[in-house]
């Protein structure tokens, strides 16, 4: 065994479990129901996880839209069974758990309510890594005495770390800025699974030189590198990594916890976890699997998407491109779109490819190929080009911006914090939804998702019957 894993002080790797959020989001389109989490909830609490991710990302959206479940109830219910392990959620900065920037009053109310329902750790990120979009969330997280985990989206413009934009200095500077903002921990968030083992070794080693804050790594197995990446990150001193129980791991999800636990046994970074008990918990997920089988993407033989190693385009973005091209009867132009994406992305200021910028760049690239470059411009692309999402990593192309501004008659680009240009929204939402929103939680569901939120509230209060394909198969029994 390498000396580096034996010598020096004992320093167990801490494990965050993502089974109840990113795990089923990645392999089952976020469809896991609360009732299927409860049978193993208490045992999960006993495993010694640093935290359990239970909320955020697409859960809020999917729960009210497709599962007929009140999103606010999940953390409250789980908290009755999971009393020791802190809950963490993924928060898209000023986008909260939606797809656009919300006004500050909505952000404040949302964060306060999330603290109230049991969220202890907030992993905050912004698609552009523009920290001004963290500001309002962070004020409320801190005011509530909760843990602010600052996350930086890992992105590349080439197969390995480096180049003019996403180089070592870029990530180190962002992490320093997060520390200055009052972060309680720092997370490298690699949503596309593109961080490679030796690059993460360099990055974590560098971060460890200047910060005492815990460093957390989140990656996806998508490209096939993630387990190797964790091992090198652990050798470099990463404090916490995200995993899932084996049935919800690999593919486009996180690495599995069980092999990691055994790999580290007997080293100074031994997790101390009991692999037999973890395997037992996985058996429950196998048992409920048939219910969710139809959401499992299994069209391909390969468990990994090796293509992402070559072009850094996240898997979810590719499936969107393909369906968009199919609709336009232009699937034969996919290779041209692959070639167009880096060009359009550069003109758009080289945003990381994560929700929502991945879709914005993808859709515009398809339009550029099919209709001719910037003959058509999507509204979201236009917003991105005038600064409404925030500051892009590199300046946007001035010629393309000129085209955009010509269409937005008289508008000048925004250089300040985007949310400073958004009027308060809650009072207006309250007026529109009226008595259908009976609680502050209802009002937030509507404020975040006006059309599907209103539909959900009609189901919730029996104004309209909940369709059979939405209805939970059995009532969730509280404790």
Q: Within positions 443 to 462, which residues make up the interface with Co ion, using CB under 5 A?
A: none
Report the nearest approach of Co ion to the CB of residue 53 (Å): 9
CB-nearer residue toward Co ion: 106 or 191: 191
Asked whether 197 and 169 are in contact (CB, 8 A), the reply is no
53 sits near Co ion (criterion: CB under 5 A)? no
Q: How far is the CB of 190 from Co ion (least distance, A)?
A: 8
Tokens representing 61 are: 């959206």
Residues 182-201 binding Co ion (CB under 5 A) are: 191
Phi, psi of 5 (to 5 degrees): -95, 0
Burial of 237 (0-12, 13-18, 19+ CB in 10 A): middle
Contacting Co ion within 114-133 (CB under 5 A): none
Query: Which of residues 315 and 393 has its CB atom nearest to Co ion in the complex?
Result: 315
The CB-of-414 to Co ion minimum distance in angstroms stands at 29
**Shortest CB 478 distance to Co ion, Å:** 29
Name the residue among 175, 56, 95 with its Cα closest to residue 388.
Answer: 95
Task: Report which of 206, 198, 211 is spatially closest to residue 170, judged by C-alpha positions.
Answer: 206
> In this complex, which beta carbon is closest to Co ion, that of residue 191 or of residue 240?
191
Angle subtended at Cα 451 by Cα 448 and Cα 456, rounded to the nearest 5 degrees: 85
Size of the site for Co ion (CB under 5 A): 2
Q: Which is nearer to Co ion, 22 or 239 (CB)?
A: 22
How near is the Cβ of 455 to Co ion at its closest, in Å? 28
Query: At its nearest, how many Å lie between Co ion and the CB of residue 209?
Result: 27
d(CA 205, CA 166): 17
Q: Which range touches Co ion (CB under 5 A), out of 14-22, 193-201, 347-355, 365-373? A: 14-22
C-beta closer to Co ion: residue 58 or 400: 58
In this structure, how many other beta carbons lie within 10 angstroms of the beta carbon of residue 292? 17
From 2-10, 22-30, 165-173, 318-326, span contacting Co ion (CB under 5 A):
22-30
Nearest to 238 by CA among 86, 13, 3: 13
Query: Do residues 80 and 42 make contact, with C-beta atoms less than 8 angstroms apart?
Result: no
Distance of closest approach, residue 375 Cβ to Co ion, in angstroms: 35
Distance CA(355)–CA(130), nearest Å, equals 14
Helix or strand holding residue 384 (H, E)? helix 379-385
- For position 441 contacting Co ion by CB under 5 A, the verdict is no
Instruction: Report whether 119 contacts 87 (CB < 8 A).
Output: yes
Least distance between Co ion and beta carbon 250 (Å): 14
Select 352 or 453, whichever has its Cβ closest to Co ion. Answer: 352
22 binds Co ion (CB under 5 A): yes
Residue nearer to Co ion on the CB measure, 17 or 22: 22
Q: What is residue 272's three-state secondary structure?
A: coil
Q: Which residue is nearest to Co ion (CB)?
A: 22
Minimal distance in Å, beta carbon 108 to Co ion? Answer: 26
Pick between residue 315 and residue 349 the one whose CB is nearest to Co ion.
315
What's the closest the beta carbon of residue 220 comes to Co ion, in angstroms?
Answer: 6
Nearer to Co ion, 57 or 418 (CB): 57
Residues sharing a CB contact under 8 Å with residue 123, sequence separation 6 or more, in sequence order: 53, 56, 88, 89, 90, 91, 149, 151, 187, 189, 218
Q: Where are the alpha helices (DSSP H) in 255-353?
A: 257-264, 275-292, 307-311, 315-327, 334-347
Query: Considering the complex, what minimum distance in angstroms separates the CB of residue 98 from Co ion?
Result: 17
Residue window 132-151: x/- pattern of binding to Co ion, with contact defined by CB under 5 A: --------------------
Pick between residue 243 and residue 267 the one whose CB is nearest to Co ion.
243
Cβ of 402: how many Cβ atoms within 10 Å? 10
Where do we find the tokens 């092999």?
259
Q: Is 313 left (phi over 0), alpha (psi -120 to 50) or beta?
A: beta
The nearest distance, CB 355 to Co ion, in angstroms, is 10
**CA–centroid distance for 191 within its chain:** 7
**For residue 64, what is the DSSP state?**
I
Q: Look at residue 218 and give its three-state secondary structure.
A: strand
Q: Segment near Co ion (CB under 5 A), from 18-26, 44-52, 308-316, 327-335?
A: 18-26
Residue 109 or residue 249: which is nearer to Co ion going by CB? 249
Of the candidate spans 15-23, 63-71, 115-123, 131-139, the one that interacts with Co ion by CB under 5 A turns out to be: 15-23
Q: Which is nearer to Co ion, 22 or 305 (CB)?
A: 22
Residues that bind Co ion (CB under 5 A): 22, 191
């Amino acid at each position: 065994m390498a000396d580096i894993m034996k010598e020096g002080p004992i320093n167990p790797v801490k494990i965050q479990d993502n089974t109840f959020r990113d795990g089923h989001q990645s392999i089952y389109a976020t469809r896991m129901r609360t009732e299927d989490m409860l049978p193993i909830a208490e045992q999960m609490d006993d495993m010694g996880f640093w935290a359990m991710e239970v909320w955020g990302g697409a859960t809020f959206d999917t729960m009210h839209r497709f599962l007929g479940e009140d999103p606010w109830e999940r953390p409250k219910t789980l908290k009755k069974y999971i009393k020791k392990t802190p809950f963490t959620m993924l928060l898209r900065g000023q986008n909260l758990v939606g797809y656009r920037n919300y006004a500050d009053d909505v952000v404040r109310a949302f964060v306060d309510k999330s603290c109230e329902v049991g969220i202890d750790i907030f992993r905050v990120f912004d698609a552009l890594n523009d920290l001004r979009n963290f500001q309002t969330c962070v004020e409320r997280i801190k005011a509530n005495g909760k843990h602010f985990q600052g996350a930086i989206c890992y992105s590349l413009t080439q197969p390995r770390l480096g180049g003019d934009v996403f180089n070592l200095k870029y990530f180190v500077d962002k992490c320093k800025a997060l520390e200055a903002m009052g972060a309680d921990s720092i997370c490298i968030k690699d949503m596309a699974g593109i961080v490679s083992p030796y690059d993460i070794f360099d990055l974590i080693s560098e971060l460890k030189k200047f910060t005492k804050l815990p460093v957390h790594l989140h990656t996806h197995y998508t490209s096939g590198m993630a387990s190797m990446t964790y091992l090198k990150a652990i050798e470099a001193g990463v404090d916490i990594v995200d995993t899932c129980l084996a049935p919800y791991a690999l593919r486009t999800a996180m690495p599995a916890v069980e092999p990691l636990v055994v790999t580290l046994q007997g080293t100074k970074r031994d997790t101390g976890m009991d692999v037999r008990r973890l395997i037992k918990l996985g058996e429950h997920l196998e048992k409920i699997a048939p219910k969710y089988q139809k959401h499992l993407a299994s069209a391909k033989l390969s468990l990994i998407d090796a293509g992402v190693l070559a072009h850094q385009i996240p898997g979810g973005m590719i499936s969107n491109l393909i369906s968009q091209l199919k609709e336009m009867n232009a699937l034969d132009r996919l290779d041209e779109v692959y070639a167009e994406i880096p060009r359009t992305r550069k003109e758009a200021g080289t945003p990381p490819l994560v929700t929502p910028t991945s879709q914005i760049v993808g859709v515009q690239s398809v339009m550029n190929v099919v209709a001719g470059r910037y003959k058509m411009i999507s509204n979201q692309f236009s917003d991105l080009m005038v600064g409404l999402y925030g500051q892009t990593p590199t300046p946007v192309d001035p010629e393309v911006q000129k085209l955009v501004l010509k269409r937005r008659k008289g508008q000048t680009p925004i250089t300040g914090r985007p949310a400073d240009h958004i009027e308060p929204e809650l009072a207006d939402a309250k007026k529109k939804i009226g008595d259908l929103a009976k609680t502050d939680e209802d009002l937030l569901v509507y404020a975040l998702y006006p059309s599907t939120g209103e539909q959900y509230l009609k189901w919730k209060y029996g104004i309209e019957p909940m369709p059979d394909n939405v209805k939970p198969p059995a009532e969730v029994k509280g404790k």
